[in-house]
Chain A
Amino acid sequence: MNLVLKIWRQSGPSDSGRMVKYHVKDVSPDMSFLEMLDVLNERLILEGDDPVAFDHDCREGICGMCGMVINGVAHGEQVATTTCQLHMRHFEDGATITIEPWRAAPFPVVKDLVVDRSAFDRIIQAGGFVSVPAGSAPDAHSIPVRKEDADSAFDAATCIGCGACVAACPNGSASLFTAAKITHLSLLPQGQPERLSRAKAMVEQMDAEGFGGCTNTGECTAVCPKGIPLDTIAQMNSDYLKAAK
């Protein structure tokens, strides 16, 4: 396959950035999207150019490090798939592919396609945990959990913190990410004592970071590689309302 790539290049936070066009040849359909970029980068290095910086680590869809907006869609058009798990067999020969970083004020561009997602960590710091010091836990079987609750909690807990939800949301909202954690913990007995203070603190931190509010457009869940459902946002809203009472 031969492809034309239009990639956002920005040398650093202070650079204004621009789209640059590259041609890549002989791409195998079995390559992953990132392997295709590796090929481009190998060439750029040898030509003495700066290779395209992008974040990645596990390359198996679980660490949440990778992420770019491909043809206008966060992580590309294949559903429930991270960028690193996207394969070139889903593109047509000769296609032009536009590649941009996540766009959101709280995710400033560090370089090229690399953005700073530390705002997510600060949302977790605000309360996304159960306060339990090591060594003080009761026997694991002392609190049974309904299987259905455990399963739903798990569904919410699978969020990989990639930030695609923010990238896709027309409001630049971090609601799905925040709601996923709130829901995970609020469905389990272990999360009950801090449930309301957690929801309140995390939602307010989300605002403080500069994310937009949610208007329930559902773009986030559509691109989320883990398919975190919108029900989590309802759960967050419900907990938040209770906390505000």
Chain B
Amino acid sequence: MNYIEGPEIRDTKAPEGPIEERWEKRKFSAKLVNPANKRKLDVIVVGTGLAGGSAAATLGELGYNVKSFCYQDTPRRAHSIAAQGGINAAKNYRGDGDSIHRLFYDTVKGGDFRARESNVYRLAQVSVNIIDQAVAQGVPFAREYGGLLDTRSFGGAQVSRTFYARGQTGQQLLLGAYQALERQIAAGTVTMHTRHEMLDLIVDDGRARGVIVRDMVTGEIERHLADAVVLATGGYGNVFFLSTNAKGCNTTAIWRAHERGAYFANPCYTQIHPTCIPVSGEYQSKLTLMSESLRNDGRVWVPLAAGDSRAPGDIPEEERDYYLERIYPAFGNLVPRDIASRAAKNVCDEGRGVGPGGLGVYLDFRDAISRLGKDAVEKKYGNLFEMYERITGENPYDVPMRIYPAVHYTMGGLWVDYDLQSTIPGLFVIGEANFSDHGANRLGASALMQGLADGYFVLPTTLGDYLAAGPFGEVSEQAVAEAEIKVRTKIDRLMSVNGTRTPDSFHRELGKLMWDYCGMERTEESLRKALERIPELREEFWNNVKVSGGPEELNQVLEKAGRVADFFDLAELMCLDALVRTESCGGHFRAESQDADGEALRDDASFAHVSAWEHTASGEPVLHKEPLEYEYVKMSQRSYK
């Protein structure tokens, strides 16, 4: 796949001046919408996760006329519900030296110096308000006996700044946002459309003006118009088929917006989570995450000798290799995810992996149980242990857990400026769907923070600035009809192939290909191979897929086929992006670029930039680079030793 290099992106709209004052400055400079005008302004929010749910609720509260969409049967089921571990905030309630600046610093460093300083600083500033907001909504965070909030530490940080609600932080935060959203629905400011899937973006006169959606129950194709569109449709980790994401997570909404002109930034940055339950068979439909918080008390190890097939309990202490503690004494089991994942891959590659297929390492609670007692361990992790036992049939109080890395989060996404606006005016992108503030690697407990920061605090201000110029008048029928026809044509095409393979079988094959060639470790050779195979497989897909049923009914096969089709196109761009970025950084590890210890080796001279890809009709993408400058954090080789 060839590409063209286009002009650099110079202006991200971040205000100048001292970093602490930038967000204040932007808030002050943002135009306000006259309250009487707000109800005349229509905003579409696609997605009801932490980002979309909080945004729609807040915009509704402010008085805009909001339409909200999700593909599930209720907004409360958005994938954010699955987040387990916690949410970061620079509250410094522990007095352990945390501060906005430290959270900012940890995040920039954790992201391997591929995130924007201004954005990350704002994120750290806003983080404190999120906790206040959530607590006021009644989110039952864990508390201590004194009645104050409890915190814990998470990978990539040496302070205890992660707020949590047992192993269900995402659920509790999402329910808070969901309840706020339902309140607005009852008040009539938000109209909710559940079981509706966005299939295209309507762009008229250069502005995003609406969406084409399919009613997933009746199959009807609907058009919804507005003055601005907000995408909060989550990540695209499911391009790998097996991931910790919910089955329905997809790239369709952002991909089709990309096809309409929104740049796609850093598609190759994927996060592999180190603590997931290993694959158990061919039929596997998804992977389950074991919260990273387990690494607070669990110790990761493998046998010293390759091919040691003794039961874990029979392996004496001297013959165990607690490799994270050995290689990274300062952070030990709490090194960031990319590092922990790759270390696990390395020991398994050495033949020291455990469990079926040798793809697993132990996460052992023996010492924690003897130190804290079984009860204390159960209190902290009981529900995670139960979940593990339900899935594997093994009891982790007696036998160490087996874990292995799995695809978890995508740092890439639609490119947005400081205002969270994409390259299409009027199209805002928030949450995991944008290329976000995490650089090349996201620290644990930072996605919830970012989603809620975007939805509750950032977007409502910046969107107002855009809408102050509205309402934007009638949308041309031509633009709407064109988008609608495009959607219908695609559906008709999928329905008419009538081949011999199911959408899932293609998805599995694509996923395997991506995992093997564009997964935890990438090489020029593997990526070239992928770029060769993907178009072939896509070709076969379009000639041999079988979609049963009809388009005008609830048809889960058709839904799936549409999503797989977009995954093919995205996969290709991911591999291209990974190929072009010859350095290693964060979640993107190019085997050619490593130091003597096998750690990721960045190439700041050539790659200290965001890669923003523009879609073109010819199919040849255009690469726009947005240079990254570091004024407040000195770029350095990350070290967790």
Contact = CB atoms under 8 A, between A and B. Distances in A.
A and B touch in the complex (CB under 8 A): yes
A177 to B, nearest CB: 12
Interface stretch (A61-69, A92-100, A214-222, A230-238): A61-69
A184 interface: yes
Given A85-B387, A137-B135, A158-B168, A110 B554 contact: yes
A114 B554 CA distance: 10
B498 to A, nearest CB: 9
A190 B138 contact: yes
Interface residues of A, number: 79
Interface in A48-105: 48-51, 53, 55-65, 78, 80-81, 85, 87, 89
B28 interface: no
A125 B180 CA distance: 9
A55 B286 CA distance: 15
Contacts of B286: 59-60
Nearest to A150: B143
A38 B283 contact: yes
B393 A130 contact: no
Contacts of B281: 28, 30-31
Contact of A65 (B72, B134, B183, B547): B72
A25 to B, nearest CB: 13
A117 B131 contact: no
Contact of B74 (A38, A78, A161): A161
B194 interface: yes
B285 A130 contact: no
A118 B77 CA distance: 12
A34 interface: yes
A16 interface: no
Given A58-B82, A62-B81, A81 B390 contact: yes
Interface in A138-173: 138-141, 143-147, 150-151, 153-154, 157-158, 160-161
B396 interface: no
A87 B393 contact: yes
Contacts of B386: 80
Contact of A138 (B58, B74, B91, B132): B132
A184 B138 contact: yes
Contacts of B182: 121, 124-125, 128-129
B448 to A, nearest CB: 14
A132 interface: yes
Contacts of A62: 81-82, 168, 171
Interface residues of B, number: 81
Given A51-B548, A55-B73, A128-B179, A145 B283 contact: no
Given A114-B554, A129-B137, A134-B58, A139 B180 contact: no
B73 A129 contact: no
A202 B190 CA distance: 20
A236 B465 CA distance: 44
B553 interface: yes
B255 interface: no
Closest 5 CB pairs of A and B: A144-B147, A137-B136, A129-B179, A125-B186, A154-B140
25 contacts: A30-B281, A31-B281, A31-B283, A42-B504, A45-B547, A46-B500, A51-B549, A51-B556, A60-B82, A60-B289, A64-B77, A81-B390, A111-B217, A121-B185, A124-B179, A128-B179, A131-B183, A132-B137, A133-B61, A134-B133, A135-B457, A137-B129, A137-B136, A140-B136, A146-B143
Interface of B: 54, 57-58, 61, 72-77, 79, 81-82, 91, 93, 129, 131-138, 140-149, 165-166, 168, 171-172, 175, 178-180, 182-183, 185-186, 192, 194, 217, 246-248, 280-281, 283-286, 288-289, 386-387, 390-391, 393, 456-457, 460, 500, 502, 504-505, 546-549, 553-554, 556-557
Interface of A: 11-12, 28, 30-32, 34-35, 38-39, 42, 44-46, 48-51, 53, 55-65, 78, 80-81, 85, 87, 89, 110-111, 114, 116-118, 120-121, 124-126, 128-141, 143-147, 150-151, 153-154, 157-158, 160-161, 184-185, 188, 190-191
